[in-house]
Structure 1
Amino acid sequence: MKLDSDKPDFAISARKQNLDWLSKCYAKESVQDFLISTWVELLELPSSFSFDEALLLCPISADKWLAWIPDYGKVILHTGQFHPKQGRV
């Protein structure tokens, strides 16, 4: 019996993976005054139970960031939805 690994019906294809999202994570456009791995204060909360701050993970475009909110998860935030934390070192 021969195992045919080229069939597309496998649950996980190990032949090639599309890693284009990695290059998009580091947006080439000018990103405002925000830096990767900084905490920002949210102006609007995604839920009433989420924290009021988020950790910026990486820019997606000139005005959008992938961020992580404690007890909520990953989100895409527009720069109008947050501002730098005051008094954070």
Structure 2
Amino acid sequence: MKYELSSKNLLIASPDNTPATKDKELIPLSSILYPSYSIDSNNWVKLVELPSLYSCDEALLLCQISEDEWSAWIPDHGEAVLNSKQFCY
């Protein structure tokens, strides 16, 4: 694949061996710079800050409590309520 940036903030993807105007796919640049992720229960996430010195640095999301809060299980610590700012995925 060959990639080039257009003047309208679109990434143009085309196969290597095709003419420049044939078989192009336009990809909005914002979807590449800011991909959307969905958080689901039963997924492991990386903790930004450890709840204790001996706990694991990952947590298993159990269920969503509110828009920004999740019930999670942290190995070597137990169950905890995490704010979405306390983990990354």
Q: TM-score range by the shorter chain?
A: 0.5 to 0.7
3-state SS of paired residue (1:57): strand
Q: Which residue of 2 aligns with 1:60?
A: 65
3-state SS of paired residue (1:61): coil
TM-score of the superposed pair, with normalisation by structure 2: 0.58
Q: Does 1:49 align with 2:58?
A: no
Counterparts of 1:10-89 in structure 2 under 5 Å?
Answer: 33-84=38-89
Structure 1 gaps of 5+ residues are: 1-31, 85-89
Identity over aligned residues, as a percent? 53
* Corresponding letter in the other structure for 2:51: P
Relative CO higher for 1 or 2, CA cutoff 8 Å, sep ≥ 6?
1
Q: 2 CA distance for matches of 1:56 and 1:73?
A: 12
Q: How far is 1:66 from its partner?
A: 0.1
Q: Which has the larger radius of gyration?
A: 2
Structure whose residues are more often strand by fraction:
2
Q: 1 CA distance for matches of 2:80 and 2:38?
A: 19
Q: 2 CA distance for matches of 1:83 and 1:43?
A: 7
Structure 1: 4+ residue segments shifted above 4 A:
none
Cα-Cα RMSD: 1.1
TM-score of the superposed pair, with normalisation by structure 1: 0.58
* Corresponding letter in the other structure for 1:47: S
